[in-house]
Amino acid sequence: MSGSGDGTYRVVEVSPVAEETLERALNERAAEGWGFESVHFVTREGSHRPALAYLFFVRRAPARKGRRT
């Protein structure tokens, strides 16, 4: 995953993997303020169709303002 700043991560497991289920998970988390980071598909041996998917989201911590003296 990219970035090394402060933030909170969320992982969502999606099964069955279909356009509708992926879309729903992405839209629900986006509405909650989560930014999409990446997707990882898991396949079964002998099958090219994903058995499940892991969606990774991040919510960046607000930038801290420097303190002046």
Q: Which domain holds residue 26?
A: 7-60
Q: Is residue 66 part of a domain?
A: no
pLDDT by residue (tens digit) across 6-37? 789 999 999 999 999 999 999 999 999 999 99
Q: Is residue 40 part of a domain?
A: yes
The whole-number pLDDT of residue 2 equals 53
pTM over 0.85? The answer is no
4 vs 29: which has the higher pLDDT: 29
Q: Is residue 1 part of a domain?
A: no
Domain count, the chain: 1
DSSP string, the chain: ----SSEEEEEEEE-S--HHHHHHHHHHHHHTTPEEEEEEEEE-TT--SEEEEEEEEEEEPPPPPPP--
Q: Is residue 28 part of a domain?
A: yes
pLDDT by residue (tens digit) across 37-50? 999 999 999 999 99
Q: Is residue 2 part of a domain?
A: no
The whole-number pLDDT of residue 1 equals 46
Q: Is residue 65 part of a domain?
A: no
Q: Is residue 54 part of a domain?
A: yes
